Structure 1
């Protein structure tokens, strides 16, 4: 019995020591991007980032014991990705709110493709009166709204709540009396933050209700909360050391609001954790789900979870400094138990529908792809790009996020039986305006291995096989190496390493491409896309 007591005591000491080490690590000067470990650690703790991929402009709510988040998707379709979690650390993709982004603008369709850096920007998700509500902005078309009783849809047709250029980062709010409001930034007018009343159905602005409630350099990313009877206006702005998180509070939603309090430091060395939302978890504690917002990182704006510490009525994000402003925390105890899960990445194309990890580059040409033409395969018919040999102007490119981990590997198996003269198909990385495509070109009815580094073309050997396997590997440094194989097991490296790139507010994408420079002719069948990270 004494021996058992000693063993249990040792377990407790080791457990407390581990938590102490995690707490200390949370305050160390971690080098950005060099995360050997991330996410759920399998021992009740987690390490940031919780998702090392491009989940930008995150917002989050809790409904019962479930957490839901949304992330901006720009020109990709379906748009506005929706995530689900049971513990705020492990997330899966629940769906998308916008099935057809061309309903926002014809510029987002496959026959235009001229909105890189535009399309669906930041939005907010809320749950009210038995429905999920998502509001978001586009820089050219204004604010949109959609709702659904089920997080997986169907989502209602988009309503253009404010049809005006120059607005971003909106958030709805329902007061205790049922009155709906919308807060958002007019970035075209020196970043003035406006508060509007909404109609009961949430589809219209109430005329004459508009008031400017704040303005500062770069003030945007607004959220509204009511906590313990007080209204909190949460936002970010730009100071000398970078973008920081601010908050104000008032007894009435219309104000007057207190002077703005800074609750998070810029921390450019950690890529400015700033845009996101605070959330009261099932365990009664508060957390900040955020993206790292600095531009320029090849993996995009990764997602992290920080504890919120309430200090004299202010929610301080992360570790509270002597100045009562929050600092980045890199590890901590999970808010709730839960098994480790990740967003899906691989696809055998045997379920009869596109899986949720996929997003087309712009709205695809629907009649040019099928999961039914050949059972267990994805068929992509080729058609001419808007600009010859420009992947960024080639329709029906299928993509997903490239993760920043120690080892990532993506392999696609293609059947070339239907490939015709002028057709090119294969695997790609792109972060517009940069890209690298690697695969097969049919030239004079002969097929060659070809690497295209945004116009710089390297031609490889002639391929006689009908089946070909293409592979890309990369690590924390984002250096991709391409390979090909004619038997699925022996891979041959081709070309120099390609540095994955950031572009148009997006991190790198891994994907499948197919087009024909000469005419609408040919197709390629995709057996599988196996992506591990």
Structure 2
């Protein structure tokens, strides 16, 4: 089945959330050779128990792999064409998460990732795997790029530095990396036909590969492997996109044979208007409790993580603990083993671009031209592209939108712009709109532009139409975008500006964000500066603030 066809079938189930179910889900690279806890009953909340609420993060972090190393949990996600790729979040309680780094420092997979001659929208980093190898105290990231090759990156810590260990000329599609208790490395992968590969001791080459399972036609598509060894059994967790989860179990080794069990199908989710929780990872806490982190399709915001406790049957199958037959909107918080070394840095707030490095909350639309930007108590963006198409403009810097509603505000110094330059703040996806500064003939206007569009092959079909503008004086302006990304609601984005940082003036009509799944990534706030006539201009962003009501 082609990627487009299987992705269509994967998503067309999105509408239902009637839940049935019995199940549980993926586990993760956590303790890949941990002991299976004894049977446990469903978690019974008590009045005194602290509760967490789903989603645990209302931002776009899809295709989850989750591991625990010591007291810390690490969470890896997809990024497609955004650079750097494969962000890593860190938590000490599974509920409060902060950015820690990226596994793929640059998308060096071809010139299209540089917006050079061609583009890589919806390519790049898909479902990949994060693991920790105790024998050499090294983190591993493994991912397949464009159904072609597989790449492994390693680092001594999640903060980096991450370097490419090897390129393997096998397409480990939707890979799950297992580091066995004897230190052997295995990869589970595939779509519908599921295979297992064994890697060499140094992880650089494949030494064996074997098909281990063919999905019954009655089930349809299975993909999104997560590979685990628990209590001597081998498990491959697979998603049926986008409404189910299945488990394969082998008692005879990593190459099977495997038996299959459905763990959930059309299970009601905790996000109103969102889809079925699926495709994520299972992780064991230090005190032996198990949790499953899945994602929910929640466009226009993207795919957002939800958490649920898991118990196990006496014969070794995991079971998601439900609330009134559905994935709970809240559960008792995981019991703390030790006080965290620090409080998680919030995913909202102010960034003044202090220091000389971008914080890992930021990702570029494709790789940036590193000669055209800098950070030093403010972000300087020099024009890197001459184009009238924002989708071709290099050095567009993006930030995930915080849901269910949030507001992003930038302070922009536009005094060094040149004629024909365009700089501002966008709601960026395959249908986009922005508010920004236009300089033409020496005159400065603030404008609201809508109608930036792509087709299903990610070719530009509209470069935007100015819907409102106003003349402005001076060299500084504040630009603001408010986004309501609740799925099933009106999905409005609104735009405003200020000349004093206090009094904001609405500009242009409300923009309705699209909610089609096929672009995969959700909307982002995007800071841009590009030329339409000639290079040489620049802007400085001295402050970015992300707030929620």
**TM-score between both structures, scaled by the size of structure 1:** 0.83
Counterpart in the other structure of 1:172: 177
Q: Is the 8 A contact 1:483 1:494 kept in 2?
A: yes
Return the alpha-carbon distance in structure 1 between the equivalents of residues 441 and 397 of structure 2: 27
1:74 equivalent to 2:80? Answer: yes
Return the alpha-carbon distance in structure 2 between the equivalents of residues 113 and 291 of structure 1: 31
Return the alpha-carbon distance in structure 2 between the equivalents of residues 461 and 85 of structure 1: 45
Counterpart in the other structure of 2:373: 369
Instruction: Give the one of 226, 229, 235 matched to 2:229.
Output: 226
What does the per-residue CA deviation read over 1:243-276, in whole Å, with 9 as the maximum and x for residues that have no partner?
Answer: 3111121222245445311112233764121111
Query: 1:445-484 counterparts in 2 under 5 A?
Result: 445-453=442-450, 454=452, 455-475=464-484, 476=486, 477=489, 478-484=491-497
Counterpart in the other structure of 1:146: 153
Counterpart in the other structure of 1:62: 68
What does the per-residue CA deviation read over 1:72-124, in whole Å, with 9 as the maximum and x for residues that have no partner?
Answer: 111101110001000001100000011111x1222211324511111100111
In 2 relative to 1, CA 316–113 (structure 1 residues): closer, same or farther, beyond 3 Å? Answer: farther
Counterpart in the other structure of 1:425: 423
Return the alpha-carbon distance in structure 1 between the equivalents of residues 64 and 56 of structure 2: 13
Q: Is the 8 A contact 2:348 2:547 kept in 1?
A: no
Q: Which shifted more, 263-272 or 326-335?
A: 263-272
Q: Is the 8 A contact 2:212 2:256 kept in 1?
A: no
Structure that is richer in helix per residue: 1
1:98 equivalent to 2:68? Answer: no
In 2 relative to 1, CA 78–459 (structure 1 residues): closer, same or farther, beyond 3 Å? Answer: same
Return the alpha-carbon distance in structure 1 between the equivalents of residues 436 and 364 of structure 2: 19
Query: 1:266-285 counterparts in 2 under 5 A?
Result: 266-267=266-267, 270-285=274-289
Q: Secondary structure at the residue paired with 2:428?
A: strand
In 2 relative to 1, CA 262–470 (structure 1 residues): closer, same or farther, beyond 3 Å? Answer: same
- Kindly state the Cα deviation for residue 285 of structure 1 after the two structures are TM-superposed: 0.8
Q: Is the 8 A contact 2:65 2:129 kept in 1?
A: yes
Instruction: Give the one of 500, 505, 526 matched to 1:511.
Output: 526
Q: Which shifted more, 265-274 or 442-451?
A: 265-274
Return the alpha-carbon distance in structure 2 between the equivalents of residues 209 and 263 of structure 1: 27
Q: Is the 8 A contact 1:59 1:125 kept in 2?
A: yes
- Kindly state the Cα deviation for residue 498 of structure 1 after the two structures are TM-superposed: 1.3
In 2 relative to 1, CA 159–255 (structure 1 residues): closer, same or farther, beyond 3 Å? Answer: closer
What does the per-residue CA deviation read over 1:267-320, in whole Å, with 9 as the maximum and x for residues that have no partner?
Answer: 37641211111111123111001111x4x7101000111111212321012328
> Number of residue pairs matched?
470
1:486 equivalent to 2:502? Answer: no
Counterpart in the other structure of 1:118: 123
Query: 1:282-361 counterparts in 2 under 5 A?
Result: 282-292=286-296, 294=297, 297-312=299-314, 313-319=316-322, 327-337=326-336, 341-344=345-348, 346-361=350-365
Return the alpha-carbon distance in structure 2 between the equivalents of residues 158 and 141 of structure 1: 17
Q: Is the 8 A contact 1:69 1:82 kept in 2?
A: yes
Q: Is the 8 A contact 2:210 2:255 kept in 1?
A: no
Query: 1:15-54 counterparts in 2 under 5 A?
Result: 44-54=50-60
- Kindly state the Cα deviation for residue 423 of structure 1 after the two structures are TM-superposed: 0.2
Task: Say which one has the larger Rg.
Answer: 1
Counterpart in the other structure of 1:197: 198
Q: Is the 8 A contact 1:384 1:518 kept in 2?
A: no
Return the alpha-carbon distance in structure 2 between the equivalents of residues 47 and 399 of structure 1: 27
Q: Secondary structure at the residue paired with 2:121?
A: coil
Instruction: Give the one of 105, 108, 115 matched to 2:113.
Output: 108
1:246 equivalent to 2:246? Answer: yes
Return the alpha-carbon distance in structure 1 between the equivalents of residues 392 and 165 of structure 2: 26
Q: Secondary structure at the residue paired with 1:490?
A: coil
Q: Secondary structure at the residue paired with 1:319?
A: coil
**TM-score between both structures, scaled by the size of structure 2:** 0.81
In 2 relative to 1, CA 329–183 (structure 1 residues): closer, same or farther, beyond 3 Å? Answer: same
Return the alpha-carbon distance in structure 1 between the equivalents of residues 117 and 263 of structure 2: 42
In 2 relative to 1, CA 254–469 (structure 1 residues): closer, same or farther, beyond 3 Å? Answer: closer
Return the alpha-carbon distance in structure 1 between the equivalents of residues 113 and 288 of structure 2: 42
- Kindly state the Cα deviation for residue 494 of structure 1 after the two structures are TM-superposed: 0.5
Counterpart in the other structure of 1:132: 139
Counterpart in the other structure of 1:404: 403
- Kindly state the Cα deviation for residue 138 of structure 1 after the two structures are TM-superposed: 2.0
Q: Secondary structure at the residue paired with 1:210?
A: strand
Return the alpha-carbon distance in structure 2 between the equivalents of residues 318 and 257 of structure 1: 28
- Kindly state the Cα deviation for residue 213 of structure 1 after the two structures are TM-superposed: 2.9
Q: Is the 8 A contact 1:265 1:327 kept in 2?
A: no
Return the alpha-carbon distance in structure 1 between the equivalents of residues 323 and 328 of structure 2: 10
What does the per-residue CA deviation read over 1:210-241, in whole Å, with 9 as the maximum and x for residues that have no partner?
Answer: 33433352211111211112112211225xxx
Query: RMSD between aligned alpha carbons?
Result: 2.2
